[in-house]
Structure 1
Amino acid sequence: MTLLLIAIGLAAGVLSGVFGLGGGIIIVPALIYLVKMTPQQAAGTSLAALVIPVGAAVGAVNYYRAGQLHIRDAVLIALGMGVGAFGGSWLATNIDGDILRKAFAVLMVVMAVKLWVG
């Protein structure tokens, strides 16, 4: 189990470094399907892992050095994420896990179509 969790983190780290994603798109589904967590447990575990800023900070250094990081914007997004994560976590822990899983699937499909179509 330890190696599986490290592998999930490694995959999320690589994809986060390349595409700027990881938690919701990689970690949550991996925890649900590979580790057999409920959607709520997966979301909570993913959020807790993202609180530890080491991985993101190390990756962001390369973008900063290349002049591809807007620090002010990142701080403002982080502030919004803090408020949003609090409200979203309250909502997620108060609805049925099956509804949450299906809503997440719909979100991923919508985002995939949007990216594909442009």
Structure 2
Amino acid sequence: MTLLLLAIGLGAGVLSGIFGIGGGIVIVPALIYFAKMAPQQAAGTSLAALVLPLGAAVGAFNYYRAGQLQLRDALLIAVGMAVGAFAGSWISTNMDGDVLRKAFAVLMVVMAVKMWVG
């Protein structure tokens, strides 16, 4: 299980570094399907992993050095994410796991179509 979790983190880190995606888009589905976690447990575990910003900070530093980081914007987004994560975690812990899993799948499909169509 330790190697599986390290592999999930490595994959999420690489994709985050390349695409700037949040861990939830990779970590949550991986924890649900490979580590057999409930959706709420996967979301909570993903959020806890993201609380330790070391990986993101190292990746963001490369973007900063290349002049590709808007620090003020990132800080404002972080404040919004903190409030949203609190509200979203309350909603998630009060939802049925199957409904949450399907809602997440719909979100991913909608985002994929939007990215594809442009």
Q: How much identity, in percent, do the aligned residues show? A: 81
| Aligned counterpart, 1:63 | 63
Query: What is the CA–CA distance in structure 1 between the aligned matches of 2:61 and 2:49, rounded to whole Å?
Result: 19
- Ranges in structure 1 where 5+ consecutive residues have no aligned partner: none
Shift of 1:20: 0.5
Query: What is the CA–CA distance in structure 2 between the aligned matches of 1:88 and 1:20, rounded to whole Å?
Result: 21
Query: What is the CA–CA distance in structure 1 between the aligned matches of 2:24 and 2:117, rounded to whole Å?
Result: 21
| 2:69 alignment partner AA | L
Structure 1 residue ranges (4+ consecutive) displaced by more than 4 angstroms after TM superposition: none
| Aligned counterpart, 1:7 | 7
Show the 5 A alignment for 1:44-63. Answer: 44-63=44-63
Shift of 1:76: 0.1
- Ranges in structure 2 where 5+ consecutive residues have no aligned partner: none
SS at match of 1:77: helix
Query: What is the CA–CA distance in structure 2 between the aligned matches of 1:41 and 1:107, rounded to whole Å?
Result: 19
Shift of 1:107: 0.1
User: Is contact 1:63-1:69 (8 Å) kept?
Assistant: yes
Show the 5 A alignment for 1:18-37. Answer: 18-37=18-37
Give the TM-score taking structure 1 as reference length. Answer: 0.99
Give the TM-score taking structure 2 as reference length. Answer: 0.99
Shift of 1:22: 3.9
Show the 5 A alignment for 1:98-113. Answer: 98-113=98-113
Determine if the alignment matches structure 1 residue 88 to structure 2 residue 88: yes
SS at match of 1:35: coil
| 2:17 alignment partner AA | G
| 1:6 alignment partner AA | L
Aligned length: 118
